[in-house]
Homo-oligomer: A and B are copies of this chain.
Amino acid sequence: MTGLSAQIAADILARVRQARPRVHCLMNTVVQKFTADGITVIGGLPSMTGSLEEVESFVARADALTVNLGTLDAERRAAIRLGVAVARAQGKPWIVDPVHCDYSPSRLAFAQELIALRPTVVRGNRAEMALIGETPGILRIVTGPVDRLQVGHSCVEIANGHPFMAQVTGTGCLSGGVIAAFLAAEPDALAAAGSALAVTGVAAELAASRAQGPGTFAPLFLDALAAVGEADILPLARIHHDQHDLIGRR
Binding site for B on A (CB under 8 A): 28-34, 36-37, 40-41, 46-54, 57-58, 61, 70-76, 100, 103-107, 167-170, 211-216, 218-227
Contact = CB atoms under 8 A, between A and B. Distances in A.
B103 A61 contact: yes
A71 B48 contact: yes
A106 B54 contact: yes
A48 B70 contact: yes
A191 to B, nearest CB: 26
Count of this chain's copies in the oligomeric assembly: 3
A169 B40 contact: yes
Contact of A51 (B54, B72, B167, B168): B72
Contacts of A220: 212, 215-216
Given A215-B223, A223-B216, A54 B71 contact: yes
B57 A73 contact: no
Contacts of A100: 47, 49, 58
B214 A46 contact: no
Contacts of A106: 53-54, 57
18 contacts: A29-B29, A33-B169, A37-B214, A47-B103, A48-B71, A49-B70, A50-B71, A51-B73, A53-B74, A54-B103, A54-B104, A54-B106, A58-B103, A212-B220, A214-B222, A215-B218, A215-B221, A218-B219
A3 B61 CA distance: 42
A125 to B, nearest CB: 13
Contact of A226 (B50, B103, B214): B214
A130 B76 CA distance: 32
Given A75-B73, A104-B58, A167-B40, A31 B33 contact: yes
A23 to B, nearest CB: 12
A226 B37 contact: no
Given A58-B104, A215-B220, 12 more contacts: A30-B48, A37-B169, A40-B168, A41-B215, A47-B103, A49-B100, A49-B104, A51-B71, A51-B72, A54-B71, A214-B222, A215-B222
A214 B41 contact: yes
A216 B169 CA distance: 18
A30 B49 CA distance: 9
A21 B76 CA distance: 29
Nearest to A39: B169
